[in-house]
Amino acid sequence: MITANNTLEEKVKKAIEQIRPYLQQDGGDVVFSHIDENNIVYLQLTGACNGCPMALQTLKLGIERALIEAIPEVKGVESI
């Protein structure tokens, strides 16, 4: 059975697949963790992105902006 949250999760994962190549070009990647009840998406930056001084900007100005633009139900993105 597909619930509304599963549908949102599928949309988020599909959007992440569109973003992923840009991160991978610089040796990084992103891993989906979960979405909470407030529609906050939790992700883990890996590879070169993990520990990079620009990781927060990548997360907020890049990934979060792209996800919210593509999926208005998403209210924010946080790192785990």
Question: Nearest Cα to 31, choosing from 57, 63, 7?
Answer: 63
Per-residue pLDDT in tens (0 to 9) along the chain, 80 residues: 445 566 999 999 999 999 999 999 999 999 999 999 999 999 999 999 888 899 999 999 999 999 999 999 999 999 99
- Global pTM value: 0.88
Question: What pLDDT, on a 0 to 100 scale, did the predictor assign at position 1?
Answer: 40
Integer CA distances (angstroms), 13 to 51, 52, 77, in order? 23, 23, 13
Domains of the chain in sequence order: 4-79 (3.30.300.130)
